[in-house]
Amino acid sequence: MPIVRVEMFEGRDNETKRELVQALTREMVRVTGCKEASVSIVITDISKDNWGVGGEIARLKYPD
């Protein structure tokens, strides 16, 4: 059972996440030959306040 984990900044809407889940599932099936029903996608939304990039808090580097 393949599991794909995605960590990204919070703020994307459910339609965007749905499209991402569909695309990742489709590609996992294409590349590995597994069954679609066996693919799990886990999306973790992370606040920019809890993510560091290049030695800085992401909120400071990428303000909204």
Q: Which residues are catalytic?
A: 2
Question: What's the total number of domains in the chain?
Answer: 1
pLDDT for the residue numbered 6: 98
Range of the domain at 44: 3-61
Instruction: Name the nearest CA neighbour of 53 among 42, 61, 41.
Output: 61
The model's pLDDT over 25-55, given as tens digits with 9 standing for 90+, comes to 999 999 999 999 999 999 999 999 999 999 9
pLDDT for the residue numbered 46: 98
pLDDT surpasses 90 at 64 = no
The Cα–Cα gap between 57 and 35 comes to: 39
CB-based contact 2:32 (threshold 8 Å): yes
CATH number, domain with residue 26 = 3.30.429.10
CB-based contact 57:48 (threshold 8 Å): yes
Instruction: Write the DSSP assignment of 2-14 as a string of letters.
Output: -EEEEEEES---H
Give the H/E segment covering residue 16: helix 14-32
